[in-house]
Each structure stands twice: as structure tokens, then as C-alpha cells.
Amino acid sequence: MISLELPEAVEQTKQMMHSLATDVFRPISRKYDDKEHVYPEELEVFRGLVGGGKQKSKAMPENVEKGKKDKKPNYSNLTTVITIEELCWGDLGLMMTIPGAGLGNAAIAAVGTPEQKEKYGEKWAAMAITEPEAGSDSASVQTTAVLDGDEWVINGEKIFVTCADRCDVVVVWANIDPSVGKAGIKSFVVEKDTPGFKLEYLEHKLGIRASDTGTFVLKDCRVPRENLLGTAEISKKKSFGGVMQTFDNTRPTVAAMALGVSRAALEFTKEKMEEKGLTLDYEKSPNNLSAMEKDFYKMDAEIDAMRLLIWQAAAMADAGIRNSLQASMCKAKAGKIGTEITQKCCELLGPMGFSQEYLAEKWMRDVKITDIFEGTGQIQHLIVARQLLKLSSKELR
């Protein structure tokens, strides 16, 4: 028999995160949407409590290729997506600017050496992948890293870097051998005060305004040889796949962001519908439902579908089962449907959905990013199609 009840420890975490979202995030949500680029000092309580380096690596075990499971599966990925859903119910932008919880931290935890995790475990690590000519296609990275003695010399430009101003270090993707294409792409830890590494400017954004996003320029930026994450060995079969492995863990978390925001919008819409005297009855015949009721029930069902896909991807990672397909499926679903739900909620709310007196219009602006970063929805559909059809990226573009 299949049980979808959460383990007691995970349920306790869920309740605690919801309390944080209610008591800490919601009250300051509008404040930092208005004050873009101002660091939320209220989040200092989280500093030192989270970070990627000191925790167990979420990298897939060596036996994944053989389809075997870990003997002792844990709930770390499941706990993470549930935590993110609850915090994003409070505020997505604030969740993204929690000190020490950057995407770079996930990369260090996934493929960093014990020494790297020890050195950078307490630091706030951003992730720099996107470039002016390399957006959703991460394999098109043009930034280069050339080994010169005991240092890597990095040159390139990185755009749309989350937590660019607030982070301590940045995990930069660069190609160490462009002649072999994507197989040469590696990731490097770059300290913020490194000569040749400059934060060029910060973006002004539609949504997630509490989170800062910036552009870095690397010009003859030198980092120690040991700052390369993983191995410098180039393997056309494994190298890029190892770098991309980070996405198998982070895409379900982005899907959980969309889930949290869209759930907030739907719950608020339900509250206002009931205040207007509309009683929601799940036992009603579909033929006796108003258009508004039908819209609500459809969105409610989509919320459940999003959550189950996310939990499946997270649980597979916890069990040591490769989840690339499921990670992309839940990301594609949640990004698209989350955007549709928040838009529909604003429509159903009427003037309340477009007034800054309420947060509904903010949720609509915030959630759109979940369909864009960590690979757009179109890219996720390509990944899913390639895996189902067993075609390479060259065979199906």
C-alpha cells in the first residue's frame, strides 16, 4: 500500500517553516518588494544556520548507474523541497536571499571535495552560469579557464547571478578546453575580492525584488588550482554530466518555489471567495458548478499534481535513484502552471488582484521567474522528450 504521509521529523520541519513564513516573511514581504537592493536585515537570524558545505553531499552515489538504492535512504531532498514550499508561501524573494542558501552552496555540496566543503561551508555561495550568448543552453558557455602554473585564469561575463552583491563567493562555470565543447565545462569557486572579478551592476526586476541579481565580468581573474570543483579530467561521457548533476537537485527546489507562491495565491483567493459568501463544496456535481468554482477546483487539483511530481523527484534523489527526468518534469509543470494559477487568481480577485494593498499582484510577478531560471520551461520539455525518446541533444533540438 502506498502511503503519502510525511515522516514525523519532516512534518515537524514543515510546520516550523510555515511558522517562519507567517511570522517573519509575510510581514516584510511588501517592504522589500518596494525597497529593491536593500538587504533584509531581518534575515540575519538565519546566518550560520544554513549552508551547503558542511552538510552531507547530495551527489548521486556511484551505484546509481546500476539502478541500486542506498541502504539507508534519507529525507534531505524531501525536507528541502517542503521547506522551500513553505518559505515561498511567505515570500519567494526573501527565501532566495537567506544567507548561506545560494545555488552555489548546492554545487559545492554536490561535487566539492571535503577540503572545499570545509573551506567554503560557512560562506554564502552564488552560482554564475548564464551569459549574454549562453542562456538556457548551459552547454554554450563561452567563459574560459586556462591553467597557468598553480592558478586558473578565467575570462568571461556572467549575467543574472542571484545574490550577486550579498554573496561571499561565486561558483563560476567556465570551459577549460573549448575544442571539446561542453565536455570541457567545469565550475570554479571565485572569492568576491579576487582581482579581475568585478560586479558590474545590479538588475531592476519585475519580481523577486527582495533578491539581488547582478552581472559579473571576469578579466584575467586568477584563482588557485584547487578551486576547481570536482576533477579537471575531461571525459566526453561524464564531465558535463557531472556539472549538470547539480540541476537534478535544484530543479525540484525551483518547482517547490512555484508551488509555494501559487498555493499562497490560491489560498488567498479561496479566503476572499468565502468572504463573499461562496461556499466551496467538493462533493458538488461538475454540472452544477459556476465558472469561478470550476476554475478554483482545477487550480486546486494542479497544486496537488505539482506537489506529487516534486516529492517524487526529491524522494528519488534521497533513495539514490537518478532523477534527471523527474526533476525536469516537475520543473516544467510547476513553472508553467504556477504562472497560470497566479494570473487566474488575480483575474478572479478583480480589483484586489491588481491592488498593491494585497500581495496577489506581487505573487503573479514573483512566480514567473520559476518558469525561466534553472532552465526555461521549453528547455525542460526538450530534456523530457530526449529522455523518453532516448535521443541526444544533437538528435533533438
Is residue 245 a contact partner of residue 112, using CB atoms and an 8 Å limit? no
Residue 131 lies in a domain: no
Q: Provide CB contacts within 8 A for 155, sequence distance 6+.
A: 143, 144, 218, 219, 220, 221
Owner of C-alpha cell 550579498: 166
DSSP lists the bridge partners of residue 174 as 186
Euclidean distance between CA atoms 319 and 337, whole angstroms? 27
For residue 103, what is the DSSP state? H
Is residue 131 a contact partner of residue 157, using CB atoms and an 8 Å limit? yes
Closest CA to 127 of 94, 156, 163: 163
pTM for the whole structure:
0.90
Cα 309 to Cα 157, 206, 238, 306, 371, distances in angstroms = 35, 28, 27, 5, 16
Is residue 91 a contact partner of residue 37, using CB atoms and an 8 Å limit? no
Residue 203 lies in a domain: no
| pLDDT score recorded for residue 89 | 98
Residue 292 lies in a domain: yes
* Domain limits for position 303: 1-123+233-397
| pLDDT score recorded for residue 2 | 67
Q: What is the pLDDT along the chain (397 residues), one digit of tens a residue?
A: 467 789 999 999 999 999 999 999 999 999 999 999 999 999 998 887 765 434 443 333 344 444 444 455 589 999 999 999 999 999 999 999 999 888 898 889 888 999 999 999 889 999 999 999 877 677 789 999 999 999 999 999 999 999 999 999 999 999 999 999 888 999 999 999 999 999 999 999 999 999 999 999 999 999 999 999 988 888 766 555 555 666 888 899 999 999 999 999 999 999 999 999 998 998 999 899 999 999 999 999 999 999 999 999 999 999 999 999 999 999 999 999 999 999 999 999 999 999 999 999 999 999 999 999 988 999 999 999 999 999 988 899 8
Closest CA to 356 of 260, 275, 364: 364
Q: Provide CB contacts within 8 A for 390, sequence distance 6+.
A: none
Euclidean distance between CA atoms 309 and 329, whole angstroms? 7
Q: Provide CB contacts within 8 A for 136, sequence distance 6+.
A: 375, 376, 378, 379
The residues annotated with a catalytic role in the active site are 374
Residue 40 lies in a domain: yes
DSSP 3-state helix, strand, coil percentages of the chain (rounded to 5)?
55, 15, 35
Closest CA to 343 of 261, 279, 274, 251: 261
Closest CA to 70 of 81, 85, 54, 58: 58
Residue 199 lies in a domain: no
What is the grid cell recorded at 41?
536585515
What is the grid cell recorded at 32?
522589500
Euclidean distance between CA atoms 387 and 390, whole angstroms? 5
Closest CA to 158 of 213, 226, 111: 213
3-class DSSP state for residue 15?
helix
Assign residue 73 the CATH number of its domain: 1.20.140.10
How many CA atoms does the CB half-sphere of 229 hold within 13 Å?
A: 34
Closest CA to 213 of 226, 199, 224: 199
| pLDDT score recorded for residue 61 | 39
Residue 286 lies in a domain: yes
Residue 56 lies in a domain: yes
The stretches of the chain forming alpha helices (DSSP H) are 8-20, 26-34, 76-90, 92-96, 103-111, 114-120, 239-275, 291-318, 324-349, 360-367, 377-389
Is residue 233 a contact partner of residue 98, using CB atoms and an 8 Å limit? no
| pLDDT score recorded for residue 19 | 97
| pLDDT score recorded for residue 62 | 40
Owner of C-alpha cell 527582495: 210
Tally of domains within the chain: 1
What is the grid cell recorded at 302?
494542479
Residue 158 lies in a domain: no
